[in-house]
Amino acid sequence: MVLVIVVSVVIAFYVGPHYGHRHVAVYVTLCSLVGSLTVMSCKGLGLALKDTISNKSNELGNWPTWALLFTAIICITLQMNYLNKALDIFNTGIVTPVYYVFFTTLVIIASAVLFREWTSLSAQDLLGSLCGFLTVIVAILLLNAFRDLDISLVDVSGVMRPKRMLLPSQDEEGLVEGREKSGATYGSPGNTGLM
């Protein structure tokens, strides 16, 4: 937690003003670091409220519960502030995948360190979790990287055809040449589009 606070302060007061307008990762890293503390605070607060509601113990009288509540409020405020700065400077299509990847990675690391959730996982479960996490990250990056490309199902099916079918046949070439010589095209004035 101390490491996250120190790195966040360095980014907020030194790195952000100098490099935040040139690199998308600067403000997104700060949002993700603070966001990992937000998730951990909310998780601890949820556990305290669960114990209070189930009458195991009254956690509302303990100071750590209130410290978690104030930490969550402060972290959410900082997180939204720097996320809005990143969105003001950079395109949403760039900020969204980078933020998703950084935030998810740091939350998993914070959860593993703070709550030691990975100690009860077997090697098979750990490998499955990592593979699933990497698959989601790659999918998000690919979806956002290629969403502006105009690719249709016809384009994809054209790639799957054999090469000999991609070349225009002799009849099609003659038809195209005949249209170019006569100057007639489909949809031109005086042309009904029928040949």
DSSP string, 54-122: TTS--GGGSHHHHHHHHHHHHHHHHHHHHHHHHHHHS-HHHHHHHHHHHHHHHHHHHHHHHS-GGGG--
Structural domain contains residue 174: no
Report the first-to-last Cα separation within the chain, whole angstroms.
76
pLDDT tens-digit profile, the chain (195 residues): 889 889 999 999 999 898 888 888 899 999 999 999 999 999 889 888 888 888 887 777 788 888 989 999 999 999 999 999 999 988 887 888 888 888 988 888 888 888 777 777 788 888 888 888 888 888 877 777 777 777 777 766 666 666 566 566 555 555 555 555 555 454 445 454 444
CA angle 122, 127, 133 (to 5 degrees): 125
Structural domain range at position 111: 2-117+132-145
31: exposed, middle or buried (Cβ count in 10 Å: 0-12, 13-18, 19+): buried
Structural domain contains residue 169: no
d(CA 50, CA 9): 33
This prediction's pTM? 0.65
Radius of gyration, CA atoms only, the chain: 28
Structural domain contains residue 84: yes
d(CA 15, CA 4): 15
Distances 116 to 34, 91, 109, 126 between C-alpha atoms, Å: 20, 36, 10, 13
Residue 81 is predicted with a pLDDT of: 92
Structural domain contains residue 82: yes
Structural domain contains residue 164: no
Structural domain contains residue 60: yes
72 CB neighbour count, 10 Å cutoff: 19
Residue 10 is predicted with a pLDDT of: 93
Q: Tokens 């100690």 map to which residue?
A: 119
Q: What total number of domains does the chain contain?
A: 1
Structural domain contains residue 7: yes
Stretch (H or E) spanning 130: helix 123-145
Structural domain contains residue 10: yes
